Homo-oligomer: A and B are copies of this chain.
Amino acid sequence: MARNKYPEETIELILDVAYRLFIEQGYEHTSIQSIINRLGGLSKGAIYHHFKSKEDILTAVVDRITYESNKLLAKIRDSSDLNGREKLKMIFKESINRPVQDEIFAAAPNFHNNPKLFSSLLNDTIKEVAPNYIQPIIEQGIADGSIQTDYPQQLAEIIILVANVWMNPMTFDDTKEKLYGKIMVFKQMMQGFGLDIIDEELTDRIQELAAIYQKKK
């Protein structure tokens, strides 16, 4: 293939293809060759020119998956018109309403068939999302009196772990009924932490996602 004047386009193309394949077949069952085959003439050398390894591609893919989500989280975190508790509630509401989610959920098999991608996303959740987005909000909540805890770091982690991983329909392949129970238990957990922020609007939307996810089976 001819050389591209704008190499970022090539990089984006590689990431597009890799993203789809990683989600559809899993990282370990996607070969570099299978990526090349869908690249429309691009070669192995092209890939290894832009990325130093297959794992490097995964890192870039995960970055792209989380980029939009993190931008939203940052916006909520830095908004000045809400207290900590309200920001937390806003996060659940907004993060669940992005259509990107639908696509991922509809395409992805469960985590057990994609351990590497799953573990990368989990790692990001704990090492990036929790400390950089959730914890600051909780700390603000402590300062403004809307949240009470002595352990903001740990509270941030457990909330986001349960919400993003356990309640994610893609992670554990739940039925609608089972997910409903999860939401109820999550709600009770949040109340136990003094955070009564899960309302009907949220529970409905989560079930909607589960339905989408199940349709593809």
**Chain A interface residues (CB < 8 Å from chain B):** 28, 111-112, 115-116, 118-120, 122-123, 126, 149-151, 153-155, 157-158, 161-162, 166, 172, 178, 181-182, 184-186, 188-189, 191-193
Contacts of A155 in B (CB 8 A): 185
Where chain A touches its partner, the secondary structure class is helix
Q: A111-B119, A158-B166, A161-B162 are in contact. List 15 more A-B contacts (CB 8 A).
A: A111-B122, A112-B120, A115-B116, A116-B116, A150-B181, A150-B184, A153-B178, A153-B181, A154-B182, A154-B184, A157-B182, A158-B162, A158-B189, A161-B166, A191-B192
A188: chain B residues within 8 A (beta carbon):
192-193
B residues near A154, Cβ cutoff 8 Å:
178, 181-182, 184-185
CA distance A185 to B189 in the complex (A): 11
Query: Are B115 and A181 interface neighbours, CB within 8 A?
Result: no
Contact of A193 among B126, B182, B189 (CB under 8 A): B189
